[in-house]
Amino acid sequence: MPGPFVVPVHGDTELPKEVDCVVIGGGIIGTSTALELAERGLRVALCEKGGIGQEQSSRNWGWVRISRRDPREVPLMAEALRIWARLSERTGRDTGYARAGIVFTCADDKEYEQHERWGRHLQGYQLESRMISAGELRDLLPGSNLDVKGALYTPADGRAEPQKAAPAIAEAARDRGAAILTECAVRGVETTSGAVSGVVTERGFIACKAVVLAGGAWSNLFCGTLGLDLPQLKVMNTVLRTTPVENGPDQAVWANNFAIRKRQDGGYTVASSMSNLVDIVPNSFRYARDFLPAWRQSGDRCNSDWVVVSFTRQGCRPAGRWMRRAPSNTAACSIPSLPKKARSAFLQMPARHFPFWQRQRWRSAGPAISTSRRTPFPSFAPLTRFPAFMWRPVSQAMVSASGPRQAG
C-alpha cells in the first residue's frame, strides 16, 4: 500500500432495520454519497464488504485536478475543486488537501498546442491555469532538467491524502446520522412490485427505498446478480511511496513516463504516467467491441504482462447470480499484489530529471486499480428496470452517461 496506513473507521455494531437509502461501497464515492444524503436529512446506511477506503480509494495518486480533463467533466470538476477547498472544515477532520498546483509537461510543439487548446475549456470558470515555457518551468521546479517544450500549469489544482479522505468523509456522514457498516457485504437487492424494497447483507436484511451502487471495480460483478450488464474492465497502475526528502517540488508533476506528487509526510507518491497493466479475462473478449475504440486510442500505454495470472484468477469466477445466504463473489474480491519487477524501475524514472530524487528510497508499493468504460466522463444513472437502483462510477473511472444496460 502506498501510504503509512488507512485511518481506521470502526463500523457500527447494530444493523438498522430500515433506511431511506443504502449505499454499497465504502470508497471515496460511496462515503461522499452517504455524506451528501445524510446532510439532506435522509436515513442512510453505507455497507462496505471490507474496511472504509481500504481498496482503490487509498491507493490512488491523490491528485485533485481539473487540468487535462475531458471537456465534459470540466463543470463537475470546477465544483469538485470548490468542495475540496473546504472539505476538511466540513468533515471536521484532516483530509490532507492542499492547493499546490499540477504541472503537465509538453514534450514537443504538438503537445504544447494540444494543452494550449485544452486551456480554453476553463474560460469563464475563474480558475488559474496557463501555459508556461521551458524556462519558466525550470524556475518553477528549481534544479529540474526536464527536456520539454513547456508545460500546462494549473495552480488551482491540488492534492489530498487518499488514506485520510474517505475515512474522514465516512465519519462525517456518521456524525450526521448515517450508519457505517464495515465487513458487511451486500449479497443482493430485493424488489417489490418492480421497485427496490431492501438489501440482503451478510449481517441481515435492511429495508430501503433506494440503493446506490458505488462498488468501483467490482460493480460489474454485482450488476450481474440483477441481470444488468455494466461493460467495465479493470486497469492497474503501479503506485509507490517514498521516504521524506527536502527540496522537492510542492507541485505535482506529470512528465513523459512518470508522475510524482508530494505527500503530507514529506515523501512522494510516484507512478508511471503512461503505462498500465490490463487484465486479459473473459470480459475482455465479451466487451471487445465496446472497448475497441478506447484500446486503439491507448496505444502503448497498456500492456498485458499480467495475462496468465489474471485469466486464471478471474476466468473461473461466475459473473451471474449467487445464493444470498452464502458469501457473495464480490466479498472475495480485493486489490491484487504488485508485480515485483515494477518497483525499482518506477522509482528510478524521476531520478534523471530531479537531483533531489537521488536521495529517495521507497517505503511501500502497491497497485492502484481503476475501471475503464467506453467514454471518459462520469455519470449517475438510475435504471428503468429498477427505479430506485442507481449506479455511480469510481472517481478515476472512464464511464458512460448511460450507466449499466439491462441484459436481454
> Which pLDDT band, with edges at 50, 70 and 90, does 236 fall under?
confident
DSSP secondary structure string for all residues of 46-61:
EE-SS-TT-SGGGTS-
Q: Give me the mean pLDDT over the 172-189 stretch.
A: 97
Q: Give me the mean pLDDT over the 146-156 stretch.
A: 96
d(CA 303, CA 295): 11
234 phi/psi in degrees, rounded to 5 = -100, 145
d(CA 213, CA 228): 12
Question: Is residue 142 over pLDDT 60?
Answer: yes
Q: Among 136-140, 170-174, 277-281, 387-391, which stretch is predicted with the lowest mean pLDDT? A: 387-391
pLDDT: which is higher, 99 or 320: 99
Q: Which residues contact 214 (CB under 8 A, 6 or more apart)?
A: 23, 24, 25, 27, 29, 30, 33, 392, 394
Question: Is residue 305 over pLDDT 60?
Answer: no
pLDDT: which is higher, 16 or 323: 16
Domains present along the chain, CATH in parentheses? 21-62+161-406 (3.50.50.60)
CA dihedral of 224, 228, 232, 233, whole degrees rounded to 10: 20
If you average pLDDT over each of 199-213, 244-258, 288-302, 349-363, which comes out highest?
199-213
Q: What is the pLDDT of residues 52-104, one digit of tens each?
A: 999 889 988 999 999 999 999 999 999 999 999 999 999 999 999 999 999 99
Q: Give me the mean pLDDT over the 243-257 stretch.
A: 89
In 3D, which of 182, 152, 146, 151 has the Cα closest to residue 167?
A: 182
pLDDT at 69: 93
Q: What is the pLDDT of residues 205-228, one digit of tens each?
A: 999 999 999 998 888 889 888 888
> Which pLDDT band, with edges at 50, 70 and 90, does 179 fall under?
very high
Identify whether the C-beta of residue 267 lies closer than 8 Å to the C-beta of residue 242. Answer: yes
> Which pLDDT band, with edges at 50, 70 and 90, does 315 fall under?
very low
pLDDT at 97: 97
Q: Give me the mean pLDDT over the 313-321 stretch.
A: 48
Question: Is residue 355 over pLDDT 90?
Answer: no
pLDDT at 344: 61
Identify whether the C-beta of residue 64 lies closer than 8 Å to the C-beta of residue 157. Answer: yes
pLDDT at 65: 96
pLDDT at 392: 57
209 phi/psi in degrees, rounded to 5 = -105, -15
pLDDT: which is higher, 94 or 301: 94
Q: Which residues contact 89 (CB under 8 A, 6 or more apart)?
A: none
Question: Is residue 403 over pLDDT 50?
Answer: no
> Which pLDDT band, with edges at 50, 70 and 90, does 304 fall under?
very low
pLDDT at 317: 46
Question: Is residue 196 over pLDDT 90?
Answer: yes
pLDDT at 351: 74
Q: Give me the mean pLDDT over the 244-249 stretch.
A: 87
pLDDT at 287: 85
> Which pLDDT band, with edges at 50, 70 and 90, does 159 fall under?
very high
Q: Among 54-58, 208-212, 311-315, 360-364, which stretch is predicted with the lowest mean pLDDT? A: 311-315
